[in-house]
Amino acid sequence: MKTFYDVQQLLKKYGIIIYVGDRLGDIKLMEIEIRELYKLQLIDSDVFTTAILVLRQEMRNCKKL
């Protein structure tokens, strides 16, 4: 998992599709959902860590614009 799209596909695998119309809002909500999947032990720590890092990088990129 290397891109924002990969994180979206991971969430989609669990039936979670996020679109609120605001990119930063999408990222924050995706982070909440990833944390919830990890807490429920549906994803392992490697996937969790990678997904969070990808989302944080995407958030930094959005704030630059």
Torsion of CA 60, 12, 48, 57, to 10 degrees: -10
Range of the domain at 40: 4-64
3: exposed, middle or buried (Cβ count in 10 Å: 0-12, 13-18, 19+): exposed
Residues sharing a CB contact under 8 Å with residue 33, sequence separation 6 or more, in sequence order: 11, 16, 18
Number of structural domains in the chain: 1
Query: Residue 15 is encoded by which pair of tokens?
Result: 């039936």
Instruction: List, for residues 8-63, the tens digit of each pLDDT value.
Output: 999 999 999 999 999 999 999 999 999 999 999 999 999 999 999 999 999 999 98
Model confidence at 64, in pLDDT bands (50, 70, 90)? confident
Question: Domain with 43 in it: what CATH number?
Answer: 1.10.287.760
Query: Residue 9 is encoded by which pair of tokens?
Result: 């596909």
In this prediction, residue 53 carries a pLDDT of 98
Q: By C-alpha distance, which of 15, 45, 11 is closest to 27?
A: 11
